[in-house]
Structure 1
Amino acid sequence: MSHALEVVTTVVVGVMVGVEFSVAFVMNPIFNALPEDSGQLARAHGGRMLGAVMPFWYIGSLVLAAIWAVVDHGAAGLVITAGALLALTVIMSVLLLVPINNRSKTWTPENRPADWKEQSNRWDRFHYIRVAILIAAFALLAAALT
């Protein structure tokens, strides 16, 4: 049971890292290259779609890491550190990224604020930091498997 928990946790976090990496380095650059209205509309749609699922994914990942740390004391240091990093991404998301996302997911070409690009760029900068933290957490979980 313990090994299955370790693998499931690592896979869940790994897939989340892949999605967030793709948003940062694939999807948003594609959206930014689209004509202004199309790119902004794509980002708003992505914000609605991923904004609906990511809270469960982030919290679920953190819960899985916490359970792993309790169940398997041998790798507890790595898993606790990974869990702390996951908790940091949750806090960072709630305080920095979600407020911007909650605004931007409602924007249309008719109602977006004049500084919508600056707000999108701010979200991107915070997201790059979050992705780096997620990669570190994932690496620690993968190391804990060995």
Structure 2
Amino acid sequence: MLTALEVFTTVTVGLMVGVEFSVAFVINRILDALPEDSALLGRAHGGRMLGALMPVWYIASLALSAVWAIAAWGESAAKLVVVAAALLLLSVIMSVALLVPINNRGKTWTPENRPDDWKEQATRWDRYHYARVAVIIAAFTLLAAALA
């Protein structure tokens, strides 16, 4: 049963890393290269769609990692899982404190109501997101190492 938990947790976190990496280095770059208000509209839609999904995914990843750490307590791999869970907790804190406030504003923007500094806010969100992606990649790497 522990092996199934380990694999399921690693896959869940790995898929989350893939989505967030894609947002950071593919999707937003594509959107930003589109003409006129397309980037604004695309980011607003993405903020609504992923803003509903990702909190559940982040919390589930953290919970699964915590359960794995408890279930494997005393084994050598448990230390890696505890650090991975701590990094996932950090990613949740970063999300709530830094990214969600910008996302909550951005998901309501339209060409008619956007603030003058919307591009600066989007750039700030991107910088915070790059840092969060680095944190969750580190967590995934530790989980993969613990699984091996």
Shorter-normalised TM range: over 0.9
Structure 1: which 5+ runs fail to align?
none
- Give the RMSD, CA atoms, in angstroms: 0.5
Matches within 5 A, 1:19-34: 19-34=19-34
Matches within 5 A, 1:116-135: 116-135=118-137
Residue in 2 that maps onto 1:98: 100
Residue in 2 that maps onto 1:2: 2
Residue in 1 that maps onto 2:14: 14
Residue in 1 that maps onto 2:112: 110
- CA distance in structure 1 between the partners assigned to 2:123 and 2:35 by the alignment: 16
Q: Give the TM-score of the pair, scaled to structure 1.
A: 0.99
What is the aligned residue count? 146
- CA distance in structure 2 between the partners assigned to 1:36 and 1:98 by the alignment: 25
1:45 partner letter:
H
Residue in 2 that maps onto 1:43: 43
Deviations, residues 18-59 of structure 1 (Å, cap 9, x unaligned): 000000000000000011301110000000000001110000
Residue in 1 that maps onto 2:61: 61
2:100 partner letter:
V
Structure 2: which 5+ runs fail to align?
none
1:139 partner letter:
T
Spell out structure 1 runs of 4+ moving beyond 2 A.
none
Deviations, residues 85-144 of structure 1 (Å, cap 9, x unaligned): 000000000000000000000000000000000000000000000000010000000000
SS at match of 2:37: helix
Residue in 2 that maps onto 1:136: 138
- CA distance in structure 2 between the partners assigned to 1:71 and 1:128 by the alignment: 31
Q: Percent identity?
A: 73
- CA distance in structure 2 between the partners assigned to 1:60 and 1:36 by the alignment: 37
